């Protein structure tokens, strides 16, 4: 008898969508580094090479995953005030990161050149422009909030709060002795504080942007 764990599956049943779904599962279960075509195949109940019939390489597959996530985003209702739209768009992107924490580092490191990603990028730029910023400021402010957003996702999914790294660890007692202010700050570095901290920084940036926008009429 076949003691293989793989489930039997008829041929001709693989699709890009199925593969992507399984890839998300394997990545979240095994971690981004633990992901492999063979493990993905096992999850799908097929052989590794079958996947190459649908994706020419692992890199293509990973980029398809980014497209899948970014493509699921839609621009906030144009009827809402500028600041609210920006807040929603930022929270939306942050959400697709936190929903796939193991994949998030790839998401934020990925160069967004696919049509899907460019469309999202274009939408956000348009949001700045609709808010009243010129092309240059729109571009630079997009970068500014983008930097903040990417850094936040990175930290929230794989940063300090996720525990010590694999190799060198400092015990809590030692930490409290050597770096008491870090130990104290740790209270605010945990996952429970992510939302509040994220909003604090985001609101600081949006405040400053609104100030730049309506300098004349807000004072």
Q: Which residues from 56-75 bind DNA, rule CB under 7 A? A: 56-59
Long-range contacts of 75-81 (CB under 8 A, 24+ apart): 75/123, 75/126, 75/127, 76/127, 78/130
Rounded to whole angstroms, the Cα distance separating 206 from 186 reads 26
Site for a second copy in 8-37 (CB under 8 A): none
Which residue do the tokens 């996952």 mark?
191
Site for a second copy in 116-135 (CB under 8 A): 118-119, 121-122, 125-126, 129, 135
63 binds, among DNA, a second copy, none (CB under 5 to 8 A by kind): a second copy
115-117-123-125 Cα dihedral, nearest 10 degrees: -110
Q: How far is the CB of 1 from DNA (least distance, A)?
A: 16
Taking a C-beta distance cutoff of 8 angstroms, is the pair 101, 28 a contact? Answer: yes
Kindly state the DSSP code that residue 187 receives in the 8-state scheme. Answer: G
Tell me the three-class secondary structure of 151-167, residue by residue: HHHHHHHHCHHHCCCCC
> Which CB atom, from 34 or from 126, has the smaller least distance to a second copy?
126
User: How big is the site for DNA, counted in residues (CB under 7 A)?
Assistant: 25
Site string for DNA, 14-53 (x = CB under 7 A): x--------------------xxxxx-x---xxxxxx-xx
Site for a second copy in 127-186 (CB under 8 A): 129, 135-136, 138-144, 146-152, 154-155, 158-160, 162-170, 175, 178-179, 181-182, 184-185
The reply on whether position 54 binds DNA by CB under 7 A is yes
Q: How far is the CB of 88 from a second copy (least distance, A)?
A: 19
Rounded to whole angstroms, the Cα distance separating 209 from 131 reads 10
The reply on whether position 189 binds a second copy by CB under 8 A is yes
149: tokens are 């957003």
């Amino acid at each position: 008898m076949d003691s293989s764990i793989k489930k039997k599956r008829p041929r001709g049943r693989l699709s890009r969508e199925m593969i992507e779904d399984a890839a998300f599962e394997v990545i979240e279960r095994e971690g981004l580094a633990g992901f492999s075509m063979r493990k993905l195949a096992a999850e799908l109940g097929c052989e590794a090479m079958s996947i190459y019939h649908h994706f020419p390489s692992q890199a293509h597959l990973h980029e398809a995953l980014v497209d899948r996530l970014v493509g699921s985003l839609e621009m906030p209702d144009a009827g809402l005030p500028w600041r609210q739209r920006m807040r929603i768009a930022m929270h939306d992107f942050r959400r697709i990161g936190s929903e796939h924490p193991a994949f998030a580092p790839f998401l934020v490191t990925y160069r967004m050149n696919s049509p899907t990603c460019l469309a999202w990028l274009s939408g956000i730029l348009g949001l700045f422009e609709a808010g009243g910023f010129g092309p240059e400021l729109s571009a630079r402010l997009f970068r500014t909030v983008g930097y903040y957003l990417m850094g936040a996702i990175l930290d929230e999914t794989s940063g300090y709060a996720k525990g010590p790294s694999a190799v060198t660890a400092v015990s809590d007692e030692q930490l409290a002795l050597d770096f008491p202010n870090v130990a104290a700050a740790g209270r605010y570095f945990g996952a429970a504080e992510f939302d509040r901290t994220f909003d604090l920084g985001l609101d600081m940036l949006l405040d400053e942007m609104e100030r730049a926008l309506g300098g004349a009429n807000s004072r």
